Structure 1
């Protein structure tokens, strides 16, 4: 009968992960967690109105309060929807978040012209912080196509008009309509809507109620643009044609 070996068994030590591999593993987990958070945030605001934005919070603290009342797109005059698109993003119905034609034109003009779409502005204001850091730009490049894929165009425009700044401490088209014209967003006239859209690039430096000559001329141009996108079908994607 064979004798059992009395030699002690050696214990196998658990393999140690190298620092580089450990960092890679945790980095991948971090990216996955961020992707899940972003997916939930994009999906949530597809249905639920964003309660506020980082900029609105900052302004509320600075001014000790702001005026803002959320209204669904159904309670916004259709001409206001068209005017906002005509003023800020004429190709809104034709792009997937980035207007490549506008970007090329901006590059050719030396960067003096803005090329940010309504979708990008929604992402910047709802999900991100103000600034020009590469990290913010990278997140914007990821989130913008995501909301275009998940949100209808009408929803993107609805959120935009409810978070846009129209004067110091005045956010959203409902508060702006009451602030400037003492009417609801649903009762805005074409001229009033065009003037509100005309002040969007510089809401603290322009007035819709007492417009300068430049604002009047821009509003007239926006009114023509709003009529044009209604005629050629570019307003169909957000239900204001």
Structure 2
């Protein structure tokens, strides 16, 4: 009788564990679906920077209120095949591996989709756990979001200065104007500081940012002329 009486309890425990596993599996999907239409209030990086003593400057703007030149600039700087891949650029990953092996500094293998997944849902760091979660979230946002939404989210949460997040806040911080008013040169400078926005300056930039911005500005014409930005139109 005791064994028989314990059986329902064991079943309840198994069902409870199963329900928890289902909830854990569905939580990322739910988060991605919510943010397909709702901007994230804060990201983990923003919270981390606040605890490190930095301010918080962020202003959400729809993609139609951000200069198309900035879209072209970040594609040129960060992910030229953004409109062609499904979240992962394996050619860029291979190039990054070869650059690291040779001791050269490249842009890295992360796509805009991967960076968006990390920026919106995860924390900074290089652990394999975070990279694995990033890959999973990248698949989800590429499945449930349009490329235009991915770009819009990226341009609203990317770190673009000390305590500065997103195109609108960065445009006002560095150039005292709206993101819709950015010139090609200013857009290129914002894209140029993305690898290290807490060290580099978009206004009164140093030699490295000036060189990188000139190269980005030249590549922006290729992005536009070859239709490499069509998915964001």
1:157-187 CA-to-partner distances (Å, cap 9, x unmatched) read 1111111111111111111111111110000
Pairwise CA distance, 1:51: 1.0
Q: Kindly indicate whether residue 29 of structure 2 is the aligned counterpart of residue 35 of structure 1.
A: no
User: CA 1:233/1:27 → structure 2, altered by over 3 Å: closer, same or farther?
Assistant: farther
- 2:155 maps to 161
- Whose radius of gyration is greater, 1 or 2? 1
Aligned to 1:138: 132
TM-score by structure 2 length?
0.89
SS of the counterpart of 1:166? strand
- SS across alignment from 1:201: coil
Partner residue of 1:208 out of 182, 192, 202: 202
Structure 2 match to 1:152: 146
**Structure 1 31/108 Cα, relative in aligned 2: closer, same or farther at 3 Å?**
farther
Residues 63, 15 of structure 1: alpha-carbon distance in 2 compared, 3 angstrom cutoff = closer
Q: Aligned with 1:13: secondary structure?
A: helix
> Does the 8 Å contact 2:70/2:182 carry over to 1?
yes
Match of 2:188 in 1: 194
Cα deviation, residue 15, structure 1: 7.2
**TM-score, normalised with respect to structure 1:** 0.86
One of 52, 69, 72 as aligned partner of 2:42:
52
For structure 2, the 5+ residue unaligned runs are: none
Per the alignment, in what secondary structure is the counterpart of residue 160 of structure 2? strand
| Alignment partners' CA distance in 1, 2:65 and 2:2 | 73
**Residue in 2 that maps onto 1:72:** 62
> Residues 74-115 of structure 1, C-alpha deviation per residue, up to 9 Å, x if partnerless?
110001111011111111011111111111112223365410
String of CA shifts for 1:111-149, please: whole Å, max 9, x gaps.
Answer: 654101111111111111222223222211211011001
**Is the alpha carbon distance of 1:77 and 1:143 closer, same or farther for their aligned partners in structure 2, counting shifts above 3 Å?**
same
Q: SS of the residue aligned with 1:109? A: helix
Structure 1 residues 228 and 70 mapped into 2: Cα distance closer, same or farther (>3 Å)? same
Q: CA deviation at 1:29?
A: 3.8
List alignment gaps of at least 5 residues for structure 1. Answer: 1-9
C-alpha separation in 2, matches of 1:24 and 1:128: 30
More helix by share: 2
SS in 2 for 1:87: helix
CA distance in structure 1 between the aligned counterparts of 2:28 and 2:56, rounded to whole angstroms: 27
Q: 1:14 to 1:91 in 2, by over 3 A?
A: same
- 2:212 is matched with which residue? 218
Alignment of 1:70-149 (within 5 A): 70-110=60-100, 113=106, 114-149=108-143
CA RMSD of aligned residues (A): 2.4
Match of 1:4 in 2: none
Q: After TM superposition, list the pairs within 5 Å mapping 1:225-236 onto structure 2.
A: 225-236=219-230
